[in-house]
Amino acid sequence: MESPREATPVPPAADARVLLSSPTVLERCATGIEGLDNIVGGGIPRGNMVLVAGSVGTGKTTLCLEFLVRGAERGERSLFVSVTESSQKLIQNLSTFEFFRTDLIDQGSLVFVDLPVVYDRLGLGHEELTAEEIDIVIRTIRDLVRSLGIRRLVLDSLTSVCYRIRRDEQIRDFMLRLGQELSAVGCTSLLVSEIGPTPGRYSLHGVEEAIVDGVLLLWNTRRLGDIVRVLQVVKMRGTSHSRAQYVIELTPIGILMAPHLKGGRETGGQ
Ligand SMILES: Nc1ncnc2c1ncn2[C@@H]1O[C@H](COP(=O)(O)OP(=O)(O)OP(=O)(O)O)[C@@H](O)[C@H]1O
Ligand SMILES: [Mg+2]
């Protein structure tokens, strides 16, 4: 008679290792900014939420817009949720960039929504949003993303939304839920975070950077009297990446990146 031990098929050790490791290849959402895609292994893992943190005028909005335009060009419908600037003014300012194609807006591949207008329509006029109102904001964004089949989303800026949420636990909850909703439909998102001169902080409250899947940091630095823009990938879950500094140029054809050569006279700056 066979013993129960003999009857149970046990895979050889090598097979067990294969089963344990069973690597799943992450689908990547190419940002379309070549230098950045090279750093992060082809793109942001699809469905991930990434913070674009930086001080004023460092190119946060331009980077986010290029990400959406490149997506829309590939047939991925893209949504820009504007909080700080009216989208009309934004589109006007961006029209100086050659890569910015207004025909994508006409086709409905690139969609702009002004969150303050949404707040007004929903009657969310108070200074501070209640838990219920936060829930309404999340559901409104979710419904837009689902109904329009949005694959890329930008929120510019998360900081402005957080001014009306304020409490750390509510910000955490807002971001976790928004992240889940977007990830569930494979929508990759960039959230703009305005930061001041405090070193080591990537957001207003500090909770934001812990929740997101990735952080891109942009800042200004001085070199021999000039101000240059610098970008660094601080974190990108699911990705082995360089954390080196890159100089970025906002050119009419899009963002160009080059290694930030060490040496020369450089002074920190924001
Ligand atoms: N056509 C253009 N070509 C190159 N650079 C441009 C062009 N138009 C604007 N810029 C540069 O882009 C900068 C603005 O970049 P952007 O708005 O993306 O920065 P930001 O970090 O979002 O700024 P803010 O903190 O004000 O939101 C301008 O200060 C200008 O230097
Ligand atoms: Mg901006």
What are the pLDDT digits (tens) for 28-78? 999 999 999 999 999 999 999 999 999 999 999 999 999 999 999 999 999
Q: Model confidence over 167-226: pLDDT tens digits?
A: 999 999 999 999 999 999 999 999 999 986 667 789 888 889 999 999 999 999 988 888
Which pLDDT band holds residue 267 (cuts at 50, 70, 90)?
A: low
| Mean local confidence (pLDDT), 143-163 | 96
Identity of the residue numbered 28: R
For Cα atoms 93, 59, 49, give the angle at the middle one, nearest 5 degrees. Answer: 110
The Cα diameter of the chain in Å comes to 87
| Atom of ligand 1 at shortest range from CA of 63 | 18
Which pLDDT band holds residue 4 (cuts at 50, 70, 90)?
A: very low
| Mean local confidence (pLDDT), 151-178 | 94
DSSP 8-state symbol, 23 = P
For Cα atoms 188, 32, 211, give the angle at the middle one, nearest 5 degrees. Answer: 30
Residues flanking ligand 1, CB < 6 Å:
54, 56-62, 96-97, 250-252
| Mean local confidence (pLDDT), 252-257 | 96
Neighbouring CB atoms inside 10 A of 266's CB total 14
For the record, the structure tokens of 203 come out as 């957001």
Q: For a ligand 1 pocket test, name from 51, 55, 61 the mutation site with the most ligand atoms within 8 angstroms of its C-beta.
A: 61
Q: Look at residue 142 and give its three-state secondary structure.
A: helix
C-alpha 120 to ligand 2 mean position (Å)? 22
Percent of the chain surpassing pLDDT 90 = 69
Dist. CA 3–CA 60, nearest whole Å:
67
pLDDT score for 196: 67
Residue 22 clears pLDDT 60, i.e. is over it:
no
Dist. CA 270–CA 221, nearest whole Å:
6
Contacts of 191 (CB under 8 A, 6+ apart): 49, 50, 51, 52, 154, 155, 157, 158, 175, 208, 212
Dist. CA 142–CA 190, nearest whole Å:
15
Q: For a ligand 1 pocket test, name from 61, 62, 217, 228 the mutation site with the most ligand atoms within 8 angstroms of its C-beta.
A: 62
Which pLDDT band holds residue 115 (cuts at 50, 70, 90)?
A: very high
pLDDT score for 270: 52
Q: Look at residue 233 and give its three-state secondary structure.
A: strand
Residue 21 clears pLDDT 80, i.e. is over it:
no
Average per-residue pLDDT for the chain: 88
Alpha-helical (H) ranges within the chain are 4-7, 13-21, 34-39, 60-73, 87-94, 102-107, 115-122, 131-148, 158-163, 168-184, 208-211
Ligand nearest to the CA of 53: 1
CB contact at 8 A, 163 and 156: no
C-alpha 77 to ligand 1 mean position (Å)? 24
DSSP 8-state symbol, 108 = T
Which of 138, 141, 153, 29 lies closest to 79, judged by CA? 153
Which of 215, 265, 224, 222 lies closest to 243, judged by CA? 215
CATH superfamily entry for domain 28-217? P-loop containing nucleotide triphosphate hydrolases (3.40.50.300)
pLDDT score for 263: 64
For the record, the structure tokens of 112 come out as 């702009």
pLDDT score for 2: 44
pLDDT score for 205: 84
Closest CA to ligand 1's atom 25: 56
CB contact at 8 A, 158 and 192: yes
Which pLDDT band holds residue 261 (cuts at 50, 70, 90)?
A: confident
Per-domain residue ranges of the chain: 28-217
| Atom of ligand 1 at shortest range from CA of 194 | 25
Ligand nearest to the CA of 195: 1
More confident residue, 167 or 24: 167
| Atom of ligand 1 at shortest range from CA of 85 | 27
Which pLDDT band holds residue 119 (cuts at 50, 70, 90)?
A: confident
Burial of 202 (0-12, 13-18, 19+ CB in 10 A): buried
Which pLDDT band holds residue 123 (cuts at 50, 70, 90)?
A: confident
Percent of the chain surpassing pLDDT 70 = 87
